[in-house]
Amino acid sequence: MAAKRDFYEVLGIDKNADEATIKKAYRKLAKKYHPDMNKGNPNAEKIFQEVTEAYEVLGDPKKRKLYDEYGPISLEAGFDPEKMKQAQYGNPFGNGGFYQSYSSGEPGNGYQEFHFDGSSDMDDILDKLFGKKGGFHGTGGFGGRSGFGSTGEFGSGFGGVHEERGQNIETEVPISFEEAVFGCDKRFTLSSSDGKSQNFEVHIPAGIANGQSVRLKGKGQKGYNGKDGDLLIKVKVGEKSGYERKGQDVYTTVKIPYTTAVLGGEIKIHTLYGDVVCKIKPGTQSGAKIRLKGKGVAAMNNPAVHGDEYAQVQIEVPTHLSQTAKEKLQEYARACS
């Protein structure tokens, strides 16, 4: 998989940029490369997705802090900053040359990945990991009560009882389109490999998007003399007929009578927050978009900020006309010819 571009570079901003600058840069680029403004241009759509991904991270103070500290690895599913800190500041293999990241699949089947950044000797690290002179298992290894062991080349080592944090568990919970927009409380049950079941309740914040996760701290796998892992709940958002979500904006259609499109008037447009009465200008064309400011989805990191709703006009052409109406239209057609 190709490495992602630096998110600050994607938005064209400095790493010390404040929230207002980040938001301004995103809006400018999103407007420029939005698919609706670049129909038939797959490259523009790709850039729009990249810009949106960058803003979802840099626009969220917590995600931005992790990204600034750990880089792209902080975006991986199951990333645990506590594990990273342990690996950075407590690993016996040298100055940050080696770290661990933890992920998981189905409950109870977690796995761990080991990454090497080149500042230590790979052969030495592999020896220590897989059985030579004090690896993870066996006398004097990580799991022993004497830390790195009371015998062998490590001498008395670190001493004390080793603490191992439990691995994270990831599961998926389906929610409706409305539940993602307004937030909700969900209850679900997980079963372990030994057949035991446990009930959980989690609050889904308003504005969450499909594929994003909510963390329940300490609800993952049990740790060894240390902290338990976390439970990561990934949401699968259902569809809503007539609505399409793109980031914080929603898109829908509105049908208006032929006469209203020609002469102008008022119509009702359905939104996620109830009906809104809008004025239609005379001569409105089919395909025109009506922007309803603030009628989109709330931002997870700032519920006071909402996206917009865009309603695309569809003109209803009458199929049954009275004789008088036909004569009037024929008269109009002659006047325009």
CATH number at residue 253: 2.60.260.20
| Burial degree of 185 (CB within 10 A; 0-12, 13-18, 19+) | exposed
Report yes or no on 185 lying in a domain: yes
61 vs 135, which has greater pLDDT? 61
Q: 231 and 261, same structural domain?
A: no
The residues pairing with 254 across neighbouring beta strands, listed in sequence order, are 313
Which ranges in the chain belong to alpha helices (H)?
7-11, 19-33, 42-58, 61-70, 81-90, 122-129, 177-182, 258-263, 323-336
Q: 35 and 3, same structural domain?
A: yes
Rounded Cα gap, residues 189 and 16, in angstroms: 43
CATH number at residue 54: 1.10.287.110
Q: 270 and 201, same structural domain?
A: no
Q: Give the Å distances, CA to CA, from 335 to 60, 85, 326, 330.
A: 59, 79, 14, 9
Q: Within a 10 A sphere around the Cβ of 233, how many other Cβ atoms?
A: 22
**Averaged over 54-60, what is the pLDDT?**
92
Residue 142 has pLDDT above 60, yes or no: no
**Averaged over 142-165, what is the pLDDT?**
43
pLDDT in tens, 180-215: 999 999 998 888 777 788 899 999 999 999 999 999
What's the number of domains the chain is made of? 3
The SS3 assignment for 85 reads helix
pLDDT confidence of residue 53 = 92
Q: 260 and 205, same structural domain?
A: no
Report yes or no on 272 lying in a domain: yes
Report yes or no on 115 lying in a domain: no
Q: Smallest Cα–Cα separation from 104: which of 220, 186, 216, 209?
A: 220
Report yes or no on 335 lying in a domain: no
Q: Smallest Cα–Cα separation from 307: which of 250, 241, 239, 240?
A: 250
Q: 19 and 53, same structural domain?
A: yes
The SS3 assignment for 41 reads coil
End-of-domain residue from the set 186, 204, 237 = 237
Rounded Cα gap, residues 195 and 190, in angstroms: 10
205 vs 159, which has greater pLDDT? 205
Q: 218 and 173, same structural domain?
A: yes
Amino acid at 230: D
pLDDT confidence of residue 276 = 95
Q: Smallest Cα–Cα separation from 221: which of 57, 70, 104?
A: 104
Q: 270 and 233, same structural domain?
A: no
Report yes or no on 267 lying in a domain: yes
* Spatial contact of 279 and 315, defined as CB atoms under 8 Å apart: no
Residue 64: phi and psi, rounded to 5, are: -65, -40
Report yes or no on 228 lying in a domain: yes
Q: Within a 10 A sphere around the Cβ of 327, how many other Cβ atoms?
A: 11
Report yes or no on 57 lying in a domain: yes
- SS3 string, 151-185, reads CCCCCCCCCCCCCECCCCEEEEEEECHHHHHHCEE
End-of-domain residue from the set 237, 263, 292 = 237
Rounded Cα gap, residues 229 and 217, in angstroms: 7
pTM summary value: 0.49
Domain span at residue 184? 169-237
Residue 12 has pLDDT above 90, yes or no: yes
Q: 2 and 71, same structural domain?
A: yes
pLDDT confidence of residue 77 = 75
Long-range Cβ contacts of 83-86 (<8 Å, 24+ apart):
83/165, 86/165
Report yes or no on 148 lying in a domain: no
Rounded Cα gap, residues 309 and 270, in angstroms: 10
Q: 74 and 3, same structural domain?
A: yes
* Spatial contact of 55 and 17, defined as CB atoms under 8 Å apart: no
Which ranges in 142-289 belong to alpha helices (H)?
177-182, 258-263
End-of-domain residue from the set 80, 96, 112 = 80
Q: List the structure tokens of 42.
A: 């797959």
Radius of gyration of the chain (CA): 28
Residue with tokens 């407007």: 31
Confidence of residue 114 (pLDDT cuts 50, 70, 90): very low
pLDDT confidence of residue 87 = 54
Q: 268 and 219, same structural domain?
A: no
Average pLDDT of the chain to the nearest whole number: 78
Rounded Cα gap, residues 113 and 23, in angstroms: 35
327 vs 245, which has greater pLDDT? 245
Q: 60 and 17, same structural domain?
A: yes
pLDDT confidence of residue 105 = 37
Of the chain, the percentage scoring pLDDT greater than 90 comes to 45
**Averaged over 156-176, what is the pLDDT?**
74
CA atoms within 13 A on the CB side of 66: 18
